[in-house]
Structures are given as C-alpha cells and as structure tokens.
Chain A
Amino acid sequence: MRGAIRLMIRAMRHDGNSTRGSSTDEDALARLADGTLPEEASSELRARVERSPQLQARLREQERSVALARATLDTAAPASLRTAIDSLIEPDRGARRETQQARWRPWLAMPAVLAIAAVIAVIVLVRGGTATPTVEQTTHLALAAATFPAPAANRPGSYVLAVHASGTGGIPFPSYVGHTGWKASGLRRDTLQGRQVTTVFYRASSGARVGYSIVGGNALKVPAGRTWTVDGTRYILRAGEKYSFVTWRRDGHTCVIAGRSVTSGTLLRLATNDEDAT
C-alpha cells in the first residue's frame, strides 16, 4: 500500500500540472479527497496541490463530489421497507428454531393432531360441511387472471372505481389515482364456499400486478403474520418467496391485496392508502 502511494506521488511530481493527468494522479487525488490517503503521502501531495492551480481544481471536484454523496446520508429507508425486511429476518429465526425442534416434535404432537382431526370431522358431519373460506384461499383469487375488463373510475380523477364489492353493502375499490403508475387492469367475481369475492386487478407502469379482493359477508379469520396498526386498522403481512399478501378489514369485511414480484412495501402502501377510498 505505502509503496503504491509513493509511486503515485512520484508520478505526480512529473506530470501533476497536466490538465488531463495520469491514472496515478487520479488515484491519489481520489484518496486525498475522501481522507483515505495515508498521512505522510497526504502532506506531500497537499504541498504539491498548493503549488498547482490545475491540481487544486481537480481536488476541489473530488471533494465536492464526496460532500454531495455525504449529503444523502440523511436519506432513510421508508418504514414499509423496514417492516418488510424485518418480516424476512424474523421468520429466519423461527425457521432455525423449528429445525432444532423438528426431531422430536412430530412424535409428541401426533396424538393431539389425531384428536383434533377427529373433533373437526365430527363437527363437519353434524353441521353438514358449512366451512368458511380462508384468507389464503382468497389470496389465490387475487393472484388469478381477470375475467372482466378493467372498471373505470367513478368520475375523472375520482379516488374510487365505478365497481362495488358484492355482498358488502357497496364497498368501493380505490382508483389509486395518487399512486404513480398503478391503474385498474381487470376484474373478476367469484363465489368461494358461498361467499361472494370481488377482485380488482391493478397494474403498475413497470408491469407489476396486484389483485385486490374483498370478501362478502362476515370477516374471515385473521391469519398469522407480521402485524401493525395504521389509523386504527390492523394490517397483516405475509411475505413469501412466490407471492406476498396483506390482509385487513374494511367496514367488517376482509380485504386482501396480493402480488407476485411485488414487494411487501408496495403492497402495504396500496393497502394503507385505503382512506382515499372512503
């Protein structure tokens, strides 16, 4: 390292005043500007810079750029990204714990699993099989293909689309007019175990796509996941490798936004923006 720096200084003695300069000059000036040039070499180079207006100008450019880069240090990641990454980090801890326990857990849990399965079977037989859909099942609809064309906005510039979720008393879908690039691209209506599910698909200018489903009737059971509350509404995020989804409730009805190749941060931004739709 020291040898290389000495070579740089020696080279500068010869051509330090040339406007273009050699790559050795560039190396030394770059390091001098960010303070990584060793002390001895720095003093020697600074003495040369003082005598050369060209070197002064070149050093000023380097220092200016370093200062500009440092001016970006206040830029912090948005909370939604931090939440999404935390949710990636924490399952890892859970997975390791699960691996350690995996050897003995199945044997311990087997009698309990059999007992629970028997109880569920009896309940289903007695009640005649009236199961309720799950959020995970709804997510599959949000990831499916559209079957109708995209609904239009209620009126130009409106925050809501001219389509309501069936079985909800008229909950509208957001137009995301404030979200750069997100636009409604399709619609589908399904019945999932007797419940009406309305899904609007949105596409971003980058080509990314999400599905926003609202389930008619009573709210579904809340799945496990990363949870936080915004303006009194509880949002649950599940981030996976193949797809991610966010679920929450609007006027007592379950909503799901899901997408592949869409970050959890984006899903969260779209979900939490729902105040625009009310």
Chain B
Amino acid sequence: MDLSYYPGCTLKTAAKGLEDSAITSMNALGIRLVEIERWNCCGTVYSLAEDDLAHHLAPVRNLIRVKEQGSDRVVTLCSFCYHTLKRANLLVRNDGEKRKTLNDFMEEEVDYNGEVEVLHLLEVLRDEVGWEAITEKVKVPLQGLKVAPYYGCTLLRPQDVAIDEVERPTILHQMMKSLGAEAVDFPYATECCGSFQIVGNPDFINQRAWEILSSAIRCGAEAIVLTCPLCHFNLSQRQPELVKRYSDFQGMPVFYFTQLLAIALGIDPEVCHFELSYGDPFSLLKSRKVVS
C-alpha cells in the first residue's frame, strides 16, 4: 500500500534518523511512504490568532499538494507538522468564511475544502497495521528494555487533534509492548519540554529537560522514547549541557519511536542515524543484549 508522506524540514537534517528509520520500517510492514512533491515548511506552529490567516497558507498549500497528487490522506512523522497540518485542515473544513478567504487569496491553486485526512504515523501503526501484526514481524524483541514513553504536547492537545486520550495516552506504551519492551510510566509523560523556548530562554529549558529525564530515571526507565524532533533536541542533543550543569545527571539514551521499531524489525541500525543523538543510544541495546 502507498501512503502520501509529508516530511517537514527538520526530518531532512537533525531528525534524519526519524525519517530513514520510519521509511525503512514501514516498507518492511508493507506500506510505502511516498514523499509529496513541492512541499514547503508547515510554519511549525499553528497560529492562535483569530485575525491571522496568512500563517495558515503554508500548511494549506501542503494539503493542496496532496490533493493535486491524487491522494486523500497524508501521513506525518514530525509532531509539529502533524499538529499544524491537522489544525489548518480542521479550520478549512469548519470555517466557511475563512475557507473562502484562503481560497480566494491562493487564486493560482486549486480550491481546497479539507478533502485530505491528516494522520500521524503512530495512528497508521495502530489503526492500519495493528500491534499484533507488528509483533508477528518482530525479529529482535526488545526484551528487558525499560523505556519511558514521552508524548509531548502537539500530538495530544488540543482535544480535536489528539491521537489518543489527552491526559492518559497509551499509544506509545502499546507500541513499545508490541516490540517486546517494557513501557515505564512516569509523571512527565505528557508535560511540555519547553519547546521553542530553547532559543530565547535556554536556561529554563535545561531545567525542564533535567526534571523530565530525572523523573523517568527515578521511575525505573533506562531510556526515553518520543516522537517529536524538538523534544528530541531539548532532551537528547542538549544533554552535554545538562551533564555539565547537574552533578547527579549522567545522561540518558533517547530514542525516536521509529528507531526502536527499525531495530525490532531487524533492520540495519544505520538507518537510525544514532550519531545525531547524544551519547550512543545503540550501546544501551548492545549492553542489554537486545542486539549483538
């Protein structure tokens, strides 16, 4: 089965490990992710102002690309892209006046009325592939790996874009179990890492990251699994700073959900680009004898 796929900017650079591991894993599960042509940046954040329509153009234009290419569904891997595309799509569907203004402004484009369905890859794994089918394809069960699912914000809030229960999501937990790992609950699973504040207020975000990672460690996790490239940056790539700053913090491996999927499906770890993560998350899998 083919599925239209919108990558977004960061998946081509810092989050290459998220993209490559997802595409390869989905191939192994019988779904080909077909990158849409002429996509542009989604704008990363959804405009929350009633009088700001200009910032909805970027995500809507991507949805028009999907429609033009004859598809009625698009899947995203990045949580921010999912959020922005999904909300812009709902706005076009639900607000006739704004829909008309947007379409009138983009007169060179085909009219868009919200025909495309926006999905996150986790939804595809749960609803189209199914956890049991994934378990059947697992070649390297992640036996004994204690991993804390970290959901972040943009897949869960607000309610109308949530891919799971807003306050008590289990989708990543279920995925980890389907791969043979143990999912560890911790109180920060749905709390924000501080997001883009890493640019303007990095000190506060260091504190957030340290609190989140330390809480997961206290709850018995040996690694974090997450979906969002910005959470990954704040919680993984920034760890050298945390290790310097907090004497009790020794570092903690952070995985994208698709990296663990690829490993469990027996795919060459090269697609995971672990060199883009802090430390060496792969060495944890070796030390737990998950991989040789």
**Do A and B assemble together?**
no
Interface residues, chain A, with chain B CB atoms under 8 Å away: none
